[in-house]
Amino acid sequence: MQPGKAEVTVGFGLGANLGERRLRFLGAIEVLSALLTELRVAPLYRSSAISPTAQPDFLNTVVVGATRVPAETLLAVAKRLEMWAGREVGPRLSARPLDVDLLFWGERAVTLPELCLPHPRMHERRFVLQPLADLSPGFPVGSDRRPALDLATELSRSQRVERVPWRHEALPKHSFTMDDSMFTESTPNRD
């Protein structure tokens, strides 16, 4: 973390529809907990894949915390976590063992080829909004800054998400290693 800079609130969306999804979430949460203070993890939800091809349902959650780590570094960590989980470069909207999206970094707005903040499609994805609303119902989303809970409720008519049992804090800790490669530049993900 960078001393002297104020902490900002950041959010990550975690999703997966292949393999040991819950175990991969635990690994990602453990790594993120080394970078974030005041870490909060939303309940777990099952949702249908947004894809032109048939694929298994996703499990999704949101992780929120505070940090001084720059957004670009957090993006690099997110991409390393995806690679650690076995994600390969493939078609957009394909099945994946782990997807880690940086949803927001404080109030910062960024539009770069490799990073858009806040996440440009967060306001239209109930599988992100519902867990985010569980942590912060009034969190302002989108250009009109509507509360996350309001948007999630509105999307409930068209997008199915189902809360599933999961007590991540009750599960045993694992020894996921975080080395310097977690903080190096990564290839962009445009999903």
Q: Taking 60 as the threshold, does the pLDDT of residue 152 lie above it? A: yes
Give the mean model confidence (pLDDT) for residues 144-171: 86
> Of the segments 19-23, 35-39, 52-56, which one has the largest average pLDDT value?
35-39
CATH number for the domain that contains residue 76: 3.30.70.560
On whether residue 73 sits in a domain, the answer given is yes
**What φ, ψ does residue 120 adopt, rounded to 5°?**
-65, -15
Check residues 96 and 8 and name the one with the higher pLDDT: 8
The pLDDT of 110-138, averaged and rounded, is: 93
Whole-number percent of the chain with pLDDT over 70: 84
Averaged pLDDT score across all residues of the chain: 85
Read off φ and ψ for residue 156, nearest 5 degrees.
-65, -20
Sequence letter at residue 65: G
The alpha carbon torsion through 140, 63, 131, 5 (nearest 10 deg) reads: -10
Query: Stretch 54-78: mean pLDDT, rounded?
Result: 95
* Ordered DSSP codes for 71-124: HHHHHHHHHHHHHHTT----STT---S-EEEEEEETT--EE-SS-EES-TTGGG
* Domain total of the chain: 1
Domain boundaries, position 18 = 8-176
Identify the weakest region by mean pLDDT among 25-29, 82-86, 171-175: 171-175
Would 114 be classed as within a structural domain? yes
C-alpha span between 48 and 55 (Å, rounded): 8
Assess whether pLDDT exceeds 60 at residue 190. Answer: no
| 189, part of any domain | no
Residue 185, domain member (yes or no): no
Evaluate whether residue 1 is within a structural domain. Answer: no
Highest mean pLDDT among 76-90, 121-135, 163-177 belongs to 121-135
